Homo-oligomer: A and B are copies of this chain.
């Protein structure tokens, strides 16, 4: 049992929790809770499991299959609360490999529906967006530089498992991807406060790219220069904008609705 906070594995887990740089260097990240760890196992990403002493003694909640198939370590409750990022911990945590996707596969996906993020900064928003994109049946989420780190513990949690299933990629320049999508014959719509068309008047039935911008400033002028049309979500009352995850959801689900209806 690991019962010291100076244990090297403990130190590594804390670095993976707190440092994006260390996550990138190792291509690993931390996921917590039985559900997320089971998802990590299903997707082939799970590397190792850490379980708190009291949870291990109860045991009944932990699938036997996980303990048989993956290396695990027991951790004293005190040390576990130290390595967990959550306030009310489930007492089980896993190290997982970061999923890797290929841009060609993403661009060739038969659904032809891509969500592009230009500088979305809030970790919770990013996780919720990935979760919603999976639900709405998007091909992938493509993130420009400046977008929050998907492997931040808060982001991982708010994906509710989508991080192990939904294709994504960080692009060094999303305008390259936008050009690629347009060259393949699809429109790329950018959400804006002042749109040239309402979001529900855009046609998503044959496939499309949808760009969501930064929480405070929207899509950058540079990226706006590459899109097909600005789309706007009508807003009543005195609000100036919608939350970025909400705006993404409204447009992605309108696209899904049109594609179900065929018009």
Q: Is A203 an interface residue (CB 8 A)?
A: no
Q: Chain B residues near A261: list those with CB within 8 A.
A: 200
Contact call A161/B238, Cβ cutoff below 8 A: yes
Determine whether the beta carbon of B162 is less than 8 Å from that of A239: yes
Contact A132 B246 (CB under 8 A): yes
A132–B236 Cα distance when bound, in Å, is: 10
**Which residues on the B side are within 8 Å of A162 (C-beta)?**
237-239
Cβ-defined partner of A238 (8 Å) among B134, B241, B242: B134
Q: State A241–B128 Cα separation when bound (angstroms).
A: 11
Which of A26-34, A178-186, A251-259 lines the interface with chain B? A251-259
Q: How far is it, in angstroms, between the C-alpha of A162 and the C-alpha of B243 when the chains are bound?
A: 12
A235 within 8 A of B: yes
Given contact pairs A238-B161, A239-B131, A233 touches B245 in the complex (Cβ within 8 A): no
For residue A146, CB closer than 8 A to chain B, the reply is: no
Our pick among B137, B165, B245 for the contact of A243 (Cβ within 8 Å) is B245
- A219-263 residues at the B interface, CB under 8 angstroms: 233-243, 245-246, 249-250, 253-254, 256-257, 260-261
Alpha-carbon separation in the docked complex, A19 to B91 (Å): 29
For residue A10, CB closer than 8 A to chain B, the reply is no
- By the criterion CB–CB under 8 Å, are B242 and A135 in contact? yes
Do residues B128 and A239 form an inter-chain contact, with CB atoms below 8 A?
no
Instruction: List residues of chain A with CB under 8 Å of any chain B CB.
Output: 39, 124, 128, 131-132, 134-137, 158, 160-162, 165-166, 198, 200, 233-243, 245-246, 249-250, 253-254, 256-257, 260-261
